[in-house]
Structure 1
Amino acid sequence: MLAGEKSPAEMFLVKLFAVIPALALVAAVPLAWGWGLGWVDVGLAVFFYTFTCLGVTIGFHRYFTHGAFKATRALRIALAVAGSTAMQGPIIGWVADHRRHHAYADREGDPHSPWLFGTSARALAKGFWHAHMGWMFRRELTNAARFAPDLLSDPDIQRVNRWFPALTAATLLAPALAGGLITWSWWGALTAFFWAGLVRVALLHHVTWSVNSICHMIGDRPFTARDKSANFWPLAILSMGESWHNSHHADPTCARHGVRRGQIDISARLIWVFEKLGWATNVRWPRPERLARNLKAQSVNDFAFPQEEMHQSTCSTR
């Protein structure tokens, strides 16, 4: 399950990537109140947040971790690059950690379950911190040879994995470059670096981490799952559909997580677009009759799928 420990350099980078953007997020409120936030910064922050978030949700998670669809080589590389610019670690380590999470969800061996320390108030507070971000500061290293051998044998993914430091620099410098060129000023470059670079990364980090913590503690659990995963609707838009977490754990390889009426899932809609363009094939759309078997009490009529999705292959579970 494990493959030794992270090196001191890796531990330093983890802390650096987690702490610096978080400090920027803390500073964002007083800065926004008095100065330093313009519409260019907002637009760039929204663009880069959406791009990098979808790289994680569609690329790292639904495609590389769970195989929810097949992709052309160009889309495969693009998704790997886009996910890497979210500054959540190299792709192979990310996928290995998440596959390990599903293998041991909310049990011993899960790298970031909030339920590993007990159910008392103190234990849950400790568990929340651990699941949200504390687990990243532990030295244990998930065994990629066991959990991600397919990625280790893929030359394209190996290259993207090695590019992670350069892609990290690019994800911070690109907003600054864009802001400087749009406003034609050094000040525009600086504020874009702060808002669309550091603050955007920090916000995405905490949204992703909230799926690990909040979505395993509170929310709606309409489906039977082997863990405590829950659907938490307030995060649906910011997480691009990832917070429909109980639905996901009930059927992990499905391309769509928001399977009930009114459940917004931006990631699934973009996968649908990729399918229409011919870039994605063999998409594992959910089928109401299968999901109904995992429902606790609701009706199959509670589901809302485009008609073409209902004729695709049945989702399978890990």
Structure 2
Amino acid sequence: MTTSPDVARPTPAEAADPAAPAGPPEPAPPPAATLGGEQRRTVEQLALLLFIVVPFLALLAAVPLAWGWGVSWLDLTLLVVFYFIGCHGITVGFHRHFTHGAFKAKRPARIALAIAGSMAVEGPLVRWVADHRKHHKHSDAEGDPHSPWRYGESVPALLKGLWWAHMGWMFDTEQTNQHKYAPDLINDPDMRRVSRQFVLWTVVTLTLPPLIGGLATWSWQGALTAFFWGSLVRVALLHHVTWSINSICHATGKRPFRSRDRSGNVWWLAVLSCGESWHNLHHADPTCARHGVDRWQLDSSARLIRWMEKAGWVYDVRWPRQTRLDARRVTGRDGDARRDRNASESNRQEGTAHKTA
């Protein structure tokens, strides 16, 4: 296993932006991560529950209702297989490799990761990486493309901010400067080509499930149900899980590590997000290849990177080191609450506030 040194190398985003600091800055205390008090936190949790869990439960309820005439084991298998291909393409490829340089990949693996991520239908590679690097540079502050705290901390403002962070920001007319935030990918002919072929890979990812379903059942109904579950539902579910990292994981969750924003760990999204919802550690140490660093934290993306490393497809993997984790960890069982109090006091003294609508 390859381990990373205690001193982090600059991320691709820092290398792309001449204004970025030369080394990892000392994390500033984050703003208060709750609306204030236990009662308000309960209201916040209810808002989050209605926002993400209820639609997902409705989707699960639709499966038994449609069983036998509108969904089959083949449809669900296609949904799961293509879901995790696209999900790991985003998490391992677009995010940990291309955005943050958590590991290096040989050319075939690099191209395969770019294609797999494109099959998630979340936008061209270069645009996705540029947006995410900009997010990290301004996380939960002025300039962040998708902070849920954009409009303030009241319940109505949070609900409005959750919508913005979840998907509203994608309709914003302001576009991230790709030449500023992703020049390394623009200068890579392979990555530039895959990024420009986004429409092609969208067609491929949407047509493969119905093609397989139709051939396996030798019927148009098999193709139709495979298209609905293996293409449409699968892409929609993956989109909402990915967007939930922007919205849910910046509005709630445990924060055992120091970071300059409100990123939190949301355990119930870990499996569907392929380990991305251990978001607090990621923002505390963005170039780390593993986000779920505690033994019980499931992180299938890190496991896939480990397998690729053993196969010789990737190398120079930045695995977490205990010294780096200890330096970033908030000590004490009540670290979250204590840090929130310190952050609130710091914000009060400095007079800082988020932009309001």
TM-score normalised by structure 1 residue count:
0.84
Map of 1:263 onto structure 2: 297
Q: Runs of 4 or more off by more than 3 Å in structure 1?
A: 25-32
For CA contacts below 8 A with separation 6 or more, give which structure has more relative contact order: 2
Q: Which amino acid aligns with 1:163?
A: Q
Query: Is the 1:116–1:127 Cα contact (8 Å) retained in structure 2?
Result: yes
- Which of 35, 53, 57 is the matching residue for 2:91? 57
Map of 1:33 onto structure 2: 65
Secondary structure of the residue aligned to 2:140 is: coil
How far residue 116 of structure 1 moved from its aligned partner, in angstroms, is 1.2
Partners in 1 of 2:169 and 2:220 — Cα distance? 38
Determine whether 1:204 maps to 2:232: no
- Which of 191, 196, 200 is the matching residue for 1:157? 191
Gaps of 5+ in 1: 1-22, 300-318
Which whole-Å deviations, capped at 9, do the CAs of 1:147-169 have from their partners, x for residues lacking one?
Answer: 00000100001110111001111
Which whole-Å deviations, capped at 9, do the CAs of 1:262-307 have from their partners, x for residues lacking one?
Answer: 00000000000000011110000000111111111169xxxxxxxx
How do 1:299-310 and structure 2 match up within 5 A?
none
Rate the CA distance shift 1:262–1:28 in 2: closer, same or farther, 3 A: closer
RMSD: 1.8
Query: Is the 1:222–1:298 Cα contact (8 Å) retained in structure 2?
Result: no
How far residue 177 of structure 1 moved from its aligned partner, in angstroms, is 0.4
Map of 1:276 onto structure 2: 310
Secondary structure of the residue aligned to 1:270 is: helix
- Which of 123, 148, 165 is the matching residue for 1:89? 123
How do 1:9-28 and structure 2 match up within 5 A?
none
Size of the aligned set, in residue pairs, is: 277
How far residue 31 of structure 1 moved from its aligned partner, in angstroms, is 6.8
Secondary structure of the residue aligned to 2:175 is: strand
How far residue 29 of structure 1 moved from its aligned partner, in angstroms, is 4.9
Partners in 2 of 1:228 and 1:30 — Cα distance? 34
Determine whether 1:246 maps to 2:280: yes
How do 1:70-109 and structure 2 match up within 5 A?
70-109=104-143
Map of 1:119 onto structure 2: 153
Map of 2:342 onto structure 1: none
Pair member with larger Rg: 2
Query: Is the 1:274–1:280 Cα contact (8 Å) retained in structure 2?
Result: yes
Map of 1:290 onto structure 2: 324
Q: Which amino acid aligns with 1:246?
A: N
Which whole-Å deviations, capped at 9, do the CAs of 1:184-217 have from their partners, x for residues lacking one?
Answer: 1111111000000000000000000000000001
TM-score normalised by structure 2 residue count:
0.75
Secondary structure of the residue aligned to 1:142 is: coil
| Identity across matched positions, percent | 61
Determine whether 1:213 maps to 2:239: no
How far residue 261 of structure 1 moved from its aligned partner, in angstroms, is 2.1
Q: Which amino acid aligns with 1:257?
A: H
Partners in 1 of 2:216 and 2:85 — Cα distance? 19
